[in-house]
Structure 1
Amino acid sequence: MADVEYQVDDRVALITLNRPDVYNALTAAMGGAVNQALRRADADPGVRCVVITGAGRGFCAGADVSLFTDDAALLKDSDPDEGLRPELLMRLRKPVVAAVNGSAAGVGFVLMACADVRFVAEKATLTTSYARLGVSAEYGIGWLLPRLIGLPNALDLLLSAGKISGAEALRLGLAQRALPAPEVLPAALDYARALASG
C-alpha cells in the first residue's frame, strides 16, 4: 500500500512508513502492511537484513488518534491481520535496524524499541506517551523497556511519559548511534549492508 513502502537493494529490505504529513501516524491498515512487509522480508532468501524508517521529518507519531472510536462492534469485526504486531521485529530470523529519523511516540516508540539495533536522530523527540493519554503501556513495552535500559529508567519513561532526545537515548543505551537527522538513514543502510554481506 502507498502508506508503507517496501524495497530491496543489496540484500537489505527497506520498510518506510509513508504518511509524512501526519508524522507517519499508524492506521490499522498500515500496521497490517508493516506486518506483511516484515513477513515478506523474513521469507525472502535474498534479504539478509531489514531497515525500518519513516518518511519526512518523523519516524512514527504513534497510532492515528483521529481514527479512535468507542464502537465495540468495529473491534469485534476487525481483521486480526490488521493492526501492527511489533513483536514480529523481534521474531524475525534476520536483523532489524530502526532508522529513527525523527519523533517516535507511543506505538512508534515500541516499534523502535523492538528493533535489534537503533540509529536515532540526535534531536529526535522520543516518548512512550501512554501515561499522558491515560492508557496502559501496550505491545509489551512494559516488559521490554526494562530489559533495554534498566528498571528505574524504564519506569521513569513509562510513568511520566517524559520526552527524551536521541542523544539521551544513546546515553541510556536505548540507541546505538545518535546522528544528525539527515545522516540517520544512510548510516543505518550502510550498517545493514555490512551485516548483509558478512
Structure 2
Amino acid sequence: MSDPVIITEDHGRVRVITINRPQALNSMNNAVFAGIRDALAAAETDNEVAVAVITGEGRAFSAGQDLQEMQDGLSGEGGGDHQFPAMLKQLTEFKKPLVAAVNGLGVGIGMTFLAHCDLVLMSTAARLRTPFPQLGLAPEAGSSYTFATRMGWQNAAYVLMSGRWFSAEECLDMGLVWKVCDPENLMPDAISVATELAANPIPSLVATKELLMGAGRPDEAWAAHKREISAYATLLGAPANKEAVAAFVEKRDPDFSSIPGI
C-alpha cells in the first residue's frame, strides 16, 4: 500500500498538513490537490482546530505541478477531471489562519500557493521560483493578483516574468515571507507562532482574517484565476509549452528559437 500524499497531525489546536511526495519533490498531482482541499476543509470545520500549518516532507515544499501529469494531459492520456480549481477555491476561501512553513524548494504552485497564506516562514535552505515563462505558460493560482497586492507591482512583475530563483532573504524583503528561519528551527517556530494565534477564540480569528481580506479579496483572487485560466488555456499545448515540457522530461534545455511571437 502506498504512503498517503497528505499527512495531518495535531499539536493542540494547531493542525499541521504535510505534503508527502518526497520522492517527487512534493510535486502536485491530482491526488495532492484533492488531498490539500480535503485537509483544509476538514481543518475549517473542526472546532478543535484554530490554525493550520502547511509544509512539505523532505527537501522540497513543492516542485510545482507534476509535469508528467501535464504531459499526459497534453497527449490525452490523463483524463479531464482536474482537482486544481477545487483546491484553489478552498484555499482562497479558507476561513481560519493558515501558516506556511517553507522547508525547501518551491516552484510554480509551490510559490504561488504562499500568497494565499496568512503567515509564511521560510528556511534559509529554501528557494522559490515561478518558471512560467520558461514553460511557455502564464501565471496561475491567482498570482497575477495576489503577488501584486502582497509584494507590489514591480516585485510581482519581476518574480513572474523573470522566472529566476529567489532566496529566503529576498522573499522576506519583497514581503512574501514573514520570517526567515534556520532549517532546524523552521517547524518549531511555525508551530510556536500558530500556537500563539490558536490561544485566541476561533470566532475572533475568523472575523479578523475576513476583515483583513476585505469583502472582495477572495472574489478578486478567483477572478484573477479565471483570467489566468483563459491565458493558460491559450498557451497550454502551444508550441512553446510543448517544447518546454518535452525538454523537461527529456532532461535537456528547451529551444524556443523557432517559435513565433504575437
TM-score for both structures, normalised by structure 1: 0.93
Deviation at 1:9, TM superposition (A): 2.2
Identity of aligned residues (%): 30
The 8 Å contact of residues 114 and 176 in structure 2, kept in 1 or not, is answered as no
1:148 match: 150
Distance apart, 1:184 and its partner CA? 1.1
Q: Deviations over 1:123-163 (max 9, x none)?
A: 31101111111111111111110101000110001111121
> Match of 1:19?
21
Give the one of 165, 182, 190 matched to 1:188: 190
Secondary structure of 1:147 counterpart? helix
Of the three residues 106, 130, 133, the one matched with 1:131 is 133
Q: For CA contacts below 8 A with separation 6 or more, give which structure has more relative contact order.
A: 1
Higher gyration radius (CA):
2
Partner of 2:84: 83
CA contact (8 A) 2:103 2:125 kept: no
> Does the CA-based 8 Å contact 1:130-1:137 persist in structure 2?
yes
Aligned match of 2:105: 103
Is the CA contact 1:17–1:55 (under 8 Å) kept in the aligned structure 2? Answer: yes
Moved over 6 A (4+): none
Distance 1:19 1:73 in 2: 22
In structure 2, what residue type is equivalent to 1:166? A
Instruction: Give TM-score scaled by structure 2 length.
Output: 0.71
- Give the aligned residue type for 2:150: L
- Is the Cα contact below 8 Å between 1:89 and 1:96 reproduced in 2? no
Q: CA shift at 1:73, angstroms?
A: 7.4
> How has the CA–CA distance of structure 1 residues 87 and 118 changed in structure 2, closer, same or farther, with 3 Å as cutoff?
farther
Shift of 1:92: 1.4
Contact 2:113 2:141 in 1 (8 A): no
Higher strand share: 1
Q: Is the 8 A contact 1:51 1:99 kept in 2?
A: yes
SS in 1 for 2:144: helix
Greater helix fraction, Structure 1 or Structure 2: 2
* Aligned pair partner of 2:42 in 16, 34, 40: 40
User: For structure 1, which runs of at least 5 residues remain unmatched after alignment?
Assistant: none
Counterpart CA distance in 2 for 1:66 and 1:127 is 19
The answer on 1:94 being equivalent to 2:99 is no
Q: Residue 75 and residue 138 in structure 1: after superposition, are their counterparts in 2 closer, same or farther (change >3 A)?
A: farther
The corresponding residue for 1:178 is 180
Deviates more, 1:182-191 or 1:86-95: 86-95
For residues 141 and 115 of structure 2, what CA distance do their matches in structure 1 show?
11
Partner residue in 1 for 2:250: none
CA distance in structure 2 between the aligned counterparts of 1:159 and 1:45, rounded to whole angstroms: 42
The 8 Å contact of residues 101 and 182 in structure 1, kept in 2 or not, is answered as: no
Contact 1:6 1:16 in 2 (8 A): yes
Tell me the distance in 1 between the aligned counterparts of 2:128 and 2:136. 18
